[in-house]
């Protein structure tokens, strides 16, 4: 399989993940990061409640890990590319992660609390520890962390009466402020009001644990790249079938347990483990069904090639629709209507991405990160300079 075809497949899977990310994030855009899980406060209709459960099982928590898997996969491919061009590997990665962290910090502070780019920037430095490790070592650590981090789901979500009252009041305030507040009021509420009632040191602990909690799929993506997965669909066809048939049903079952046998302290473990397993299943299912040139996959590819730009564009569009400084539909649209809205938004992104790529090779944010990573206005590495310096040495 040609390198270009392999890249197209990865872009297609990345574009597919952005569709699911949008659908999951519409819960946050419409109900808030904490409000989306306080179902008793949402006043959902029977139809919306059913749709809510379907999104929780099939989508939420299982599309963002696809993105993280591809981030790890892309790291190894970028490392291989840098080494072929005789460029300093870690130097370029450090620049890239600083850029991601900076964009993520701005995104989360000024626009939306559901940002992932800051985490990716932090995570990148952690992943440098595994970049030169053997594929088996990366796989073992990925599996160990997958099992260990799933244990975070153990226990019933309980707390003191005071904690519950604080969270409930926060959600109610969020509905009012986000739905009718000004940009400054919404930004202040997002950045300064604490809904968890935690001591200050706990936030430092959570910050330090974040890379470990999200590490498994990053590492499994690195492993897949080291093993040259997704390079020969014909040869790997049986592998795609085996993994898809294994991970998808088990992932769905584990995520469904919270509704099948609720109020059990251990089902949260199944939810976390199942979310990641379903992500792997979706990846191999997409690889199995990938056919270059079909309209569906060309649509996914177009969005995936501009993944960072489209991810940030989703924030701009959705906050404008739901927040008070826009249309003010926060908490008013409903789950089913929001799902169809998501299809419209994604279809718009497909069209815009396709038209944009007719004229340009990379999106604005993709171009910016390349300029910063390589320290060139063209966004291309200085290959000749690197080789010349080696000859002189």
Model confidence at 1, in pLDDT bands (50, 70, 90)?
very low
The residue that leads in pLDDT, 360 or 382, is: 360
Q: How confident is the model at residue 265 (pLDDT cuts 50, 70, 90)?
A: confident
State residue 255's pLDDT score: 97
Please tell me the distance from the alpha carbon of residue 389 to that of residue 393, in angstroms, as a whole number: 6
Asked if the model's pLDDT at residue 201 lies above 90, the reply is no
196: pLDDT confidence band, cut at 50, 70 and 90?
confident
Reported confidence tier of residue 385, pLDDT bands at 50, 70, 90: low
Lowest mean pLDDT among 41-50, 141-150, 192-201, 273-282: 192-201
Cα separation of 308 and 67, whole Å? 11
pLDDT score of 325: 96
What SS3 class is residue 203? helix
What does the pLDDT read at residue 158?
Answer: 59
Asked if the model's pLDDT at residue 318 lies above 60, the reply is yes
- Average pLDDT, rounded, for the chain: 91
Please list, residue by residue across 93-117, b when 16 or more beta carbons sit within 10 angstroms of its beta carbon and e when fewer do: beebbebbbebbeebbeebbebbbb
- HSE-CB of 114 using CA atoms within 13 angstroms: 25
- Predicted pLDDT of residue 163: 82
The mean per-residue pLDDT over the stretch 214-225 comes to: 96
* High-pLDDT (> 90) share of the chain, %: 77
pLDDT digits (tens, 9 = 90+) for 284-314: 999 998 876 688 889 999 999 999 999 999 9
At residue 250, the pLDDT reads 97
pLDDT digits (tens, 9 = 90+) for 111-142: 999 999 999 999 999 999 999 999 999 999 99
pLDDT in tens, 238-247: 999 999 999 9
Return the minimum-mean-pLDDT range out of 9-13, 167-171, 378-382.
Answer: 378-382
Summarised one tens digit per residue, pLDDT across range 340-354 is: 999 999 999 999 999
Q: Is the pLDDT of residue 169 over 80?
A: yes
């Amino acid at each position: 399989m040609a390198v270009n075809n392999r890249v197209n497949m990865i872009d297609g899977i990345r574009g597919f993940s952005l569709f699911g990310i949008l659908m999951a994030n519409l819960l946050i855009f419409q109900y808030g990061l904490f409000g989306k899980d306080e179902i008793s406060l949402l006043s959902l209709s029977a139809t919306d409640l059913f749709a809510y459960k379907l999104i929780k099982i099939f989508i939420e928590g299982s599309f963002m890990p696809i993105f993280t898997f591809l981030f790890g996969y892309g790291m190894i491919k970028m490392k291989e590319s840098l080494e072929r061009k005789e460029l300093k590997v870690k130097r370029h990665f450090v620049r890239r992660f600083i850029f991601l962290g900076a964009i993520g910090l701005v995104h989360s502070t000024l626009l939306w609390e559901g940002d992932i780019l800051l985490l990716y920037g932090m995570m990148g430095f952690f992943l440098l520890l595994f970049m030169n490790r053997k594929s088996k070592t990366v796989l073992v650590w990925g599996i160990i962390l997958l099992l260990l981090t799933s244990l975070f789901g153990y226990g019933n979500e309980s707390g003191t009466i005071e904690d519950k009252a604080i969270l409930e009041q926060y959600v109610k305030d969020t509905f009012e402020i986000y739905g009718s507040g000004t940009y400054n009021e919404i930004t202040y509420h997002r950045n300064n009001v604490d809904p968890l009632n935690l001591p200050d040191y706990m936030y430092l602990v959570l910050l330090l644990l974040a890379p470990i909690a999200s590490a498994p799929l990053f590492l499994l993506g690195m492993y897949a790249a080291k093993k040259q997965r997704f390079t020969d669909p014909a040869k790997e066809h049986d592998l795609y079938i085996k993994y898809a048939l294994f991970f998808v049903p088990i992932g769905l079952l584990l995520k469904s347990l919270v509704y099948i046998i609720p109020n059990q302290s251990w089902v949260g473990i199944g939810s976390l483990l199942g979310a990641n397993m379903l992500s792997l299943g979706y990846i191999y299912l997409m690889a199995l069904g990938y056919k270059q040139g079909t309209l569906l996959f060309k649509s996914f590819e177009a969005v995936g090639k501009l993944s960072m730009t489209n991810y940030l564009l989703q924030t701009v569009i959705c906050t404008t629709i739901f927040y008070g400084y826009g249309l003010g539909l926060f908490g008013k649209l409903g789950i089913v209507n929001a799902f169809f809205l998501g299809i419209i938004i994604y279809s718009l992104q497909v069209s815009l991405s396709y038209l944009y790529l007719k004229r340009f090779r990379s999106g604005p944010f993709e171009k910016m990160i390349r300029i910063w990573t390589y320290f060139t206005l063209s966004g291309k590495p200085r290959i000749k300079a690197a080789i010349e310096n080696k000859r002189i040495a």
